[in-house]
Amino acid sequence: MSEAVEHQDSKQSKWSMVGKDPYAMPIEDIDLAHPGIWQANEFLPFLQRLRQEDPVHYCKESAVGPYWSVMKYKDIMEVDTSPDIYSSEPTIGIVDSFEQFTLPSFISMDPPKHDEQRTVVQGVVAPANLKNLEGLIRQRVSKIMDELPLGEEFDWVKQVSIELTTQMLATLFDFPFEDRYKLTHWSDVATAIPGGGVIDNQEQRWQAMQECLAYFTRLWNERINKEPGNDLISMLAHGEATKNMPPMEYLGNIILLIVGGNDTTRNSITGGVIALNENPDEYDKLRHDHGLIRNMVSEIIRWQTPLAYMRRTARVDTVLRGKQIKAGDKVIMWYASGNRDEEVIDRPNDFWIDRPNARHHLSFGFGLHRCMGNRLAEMQLRIVWEEIMQRFHKVEVVGEPERIYSSFVKGYSSLPVVLHPLK
């Protein structure tokens, strides 16, 4: 996901759709790629219009050039599961790789190289290994929860969502615990849009990435001289398909694992709090039956859809829902739209913690690139909510969340809350 850097233009860009009525403009002018409507939380009616009126939509002009938008659940499935037609190379971000720096990693590779590299590291997030990690995760979640202030306002994103996901990443990498905030920083920088608040320009990004590479190279050198361990770095250093990776490929895979394990879970942890506050009846249901947590976790991941899209590039001329897609065209699968597709998902805009078939959502993608960390993410969210419900009557949202300036990472930079203990 290192290549998920989006627009180079500013927030006041002519491309922004903020404040516009999606039904009052010519449909061909709708541009979902600009981060404005995502940060302003105005994207849903745009998605809905396209889904209903032009579900395979061509945007011929945008800050990132022309691209196709795939809006329906079933069409997204088809694109995601046809790697011979829709390639993940050269990048899964909406910006073409030659326009900016990109790092090679297995998320933007096709078979067979993708399969070989992914196989090396997936064991660390496989359920058998997660079972061993559960106790440690719960211990860390409990410690974070126990130290939170009661009855006074604080930022849930910073003190819970970021703290928890960062600790988890440090654990998976066996990364020096006291330096763990560097991981959050690198993750934020890797996906930031210059001018969006985190970095001002590409040089700053490069600097941070060099620093990241230098740090991880030290860890690699340490681990390569030891017996193979169960952390991600040791697995990469000793794995047949990865031990001779060039430095940029190592960096690319590290950034992929950091961003993949960080942003997405972080924003789902925050999103769940928002969803339950917006739906007090569902919160009541949860208070009465903690057994619903497992199902709720899937519903949170659907409702939040922490990554709004993945991009593919057509390898050959093809036809999707009657539209002629040419070889080389950018094809964007809007998971955020497919997850609200009324044709497949009952009452899609409702947050419904005991939803039947809650696992049938697109947030993890489908096919060979399906999210490798999905079981870890689900486990983290489950433990978070189990521990919340042990302690607090309500995590009350007391102000507007601040949303991230991105059409890719769908998330929050802050959320003011007040904790109310169990009565």
Partner 1 sequence: MINILFIEHDGTKHHVEVKTGGSVMQAAVSNGVPGIDADCGGACSCATCHVYVSEEWRNKVGTMEPTEEAMLGLSTDRKDNSRLSCQISVTDELDGLVLTTPEFQF
Residues that bind partner 1 (CB under 8 A): 77, 80-81, 111, 115, 118-119, 122-123, 126-128, 131, 359-360, 364, 366-368, 370, 375
Cα–Cα distances in angstroms (integers) from residue 12 to residues 16, 39, 313, 329, in the given order: 7, 13, 29, 28
Q: Measured in whole angstroms, how far is the alpha carbon of residue 162 from the centre of its chain?
A: 14
Identify which of residues 131 and 143 has a Cβ nearer to partner 1 in the complex. Answer: 131
CB of 162 to partner 1, least distance (A): 27
299 in Cβ contact with 352 (< 8 Å): yes
CA distance 20 to 173: 44
Identify which of residues 163 and 378 has a Cβ nearer to partner 1 in the complex. Answer: 378
* DSSP helix/strand/coil, 130: helix
CB of 16 to partner 1, least distance (A): 35
Give the residue carrying structure tokens 């997850």.
Answer: 339
Identify which of residues 367 and 416 has a Cβ nearer to partner 1 in the complex. Answer: 367
CB of 76 to partner 1, least distance (A): 11
251 in Cβ contact with 103 (< 8 Å): yes
Identify which of residues 24 and 128 has a Cβ nearer to partner 1 in the complex. Answer: 128
CB of 392 to partner 1, least distance (A): 30
Q: How many CA atoms lie within 13 A of 393 on its CB side?
A: 6
CB of 359 to partner 1, least distance (A): 5
CB of 276 to partner 1, least distance (A): 23
Identify which of residues 126 and 316 has a Cβ nearer to partner 1 in the complex. Answer: 126
Identify which of residues 226 and 360 has a Cβ nearer to partner 1 in the complex. Answer: 360
CB of 126 to partner 1, least distance (A): 4
Identify which of residues 376 and 419 has a Cβ nearer to partner 1 in the complex. Answer: 376
Q: Which long-range contacts (CB under 8 A, 24 or more apart) does 312-318 make?
A: 312/79, 312/80, 312/86, 312/87, 312/88, 312/92, 313/86, 313/87, 313/88, 313/89, 313/90, 314/85, 314/86, 314/87, 315/84, 315/85, 315/86, 315/87, 316/85, 318/85
